Amino acid sequence: MPAFRSWFFVVAILLSGGVHAGGGPFEIDHRIHYDNSGIWKRTNQNVLMYGTITAVFGGALAFGDNDQLGDTFWRSVDAMAVTGLSAEAMKYTFQRKRPSQTDDPNDFFAGSHAQSFPSGEVAAISAAVTPFIVTYGRDHPAVYALALLPVYDAVARVKTRGHWQSDVLVGAALGTGIGLWAAHRDSPLIVSWLPGGFKVGFIHRFK
């Protein structure tokens, strides 16, 4: 899909700072100038992360699975849940130190306190927006602008030394891949496990 290939290209350019020798799995990881000000502030990253969670879960509960919009919200719920579990498993497997903890991007298997790889936030936001882009992007190209949310978060996490460049790229790939899986399932997964009231949604229930 051209939009997703462009997404990764933009992120790679923004994070690499041009051609730069580095370390890590892709030989691109290096500390950049620390910046926790303006739009890159950690508080703004938190607003985006928790806002995404609230919007996705709130939309799923509000609309249920009775129409395309509600169905897409529930696919985003699936994608975020599976992505969250996958990212946590990878963090405990690879145990990589964050750039705030070390200047060595090859410092893996450093203990359970080291949880840099991959970026769970970038993965979650990528997972959240992907079903909407898949469902609505072709007919409503403006929806592709949602890809700017994980792009912003990826750059911000590197600038505030929460993650290395490869952390956010792998997080984006993980979230996007699982988002594509959720978008192309025959039906949303989690809503099928819940009581029927969740399938109806609060908006339809009180009409």
Tokens of 162: 């929460």
Query: Do residues 122 and 172 lie in contact, with contact meaning Cβ atoms separated by under 8 Å?
Result: yes
For residues 66 and 81, which has the higher predicted lDDT (pLDDT)?
81
Separation between Cα atoms, residue 73 and residue 33, nearest integer Å? 37
Measure Cα distances from 165 to 12, 83, 109, 185 in Å.
8, 19, 18, 31
- Hey, what are 192's tokens? 């099928």
Contact 174, 86 (CB under 8 A): yes
For the stretch 72-115, pLDDT in tens is 999 999 999 999 999 999 999 999 999 999 999 999 999 999 99
Given the structure tokens 């899986």, which residue do they identify?
A: 181
CA nearest neighbour of 129 among 51, 28, 17, 44: 51
Residue 193 has pLDDT above 90, yes or no: no
Measured CA to CA, the distance from residue 67 to residue 151 in angstroms comes to: 29
Check if the beta carbon of residue 1 is closer than 8 Å to that of residue 9: no
pLDDT single digits (tens) 10-20: 555 555 555 45
Domains of the chain: 2-12+35-202 (1.20.144)
- Would you say residue 118 has pLDDT above 80? yes
Mean pLDDT (whole number) for 143-164: 96
**What is the pTM for the complete model shown?**
0.90
> For position 120, what pLDDT does the model report?
98
Q: Cα–Cα distance between 84 and 82 in angstroms, integer?
A: 5
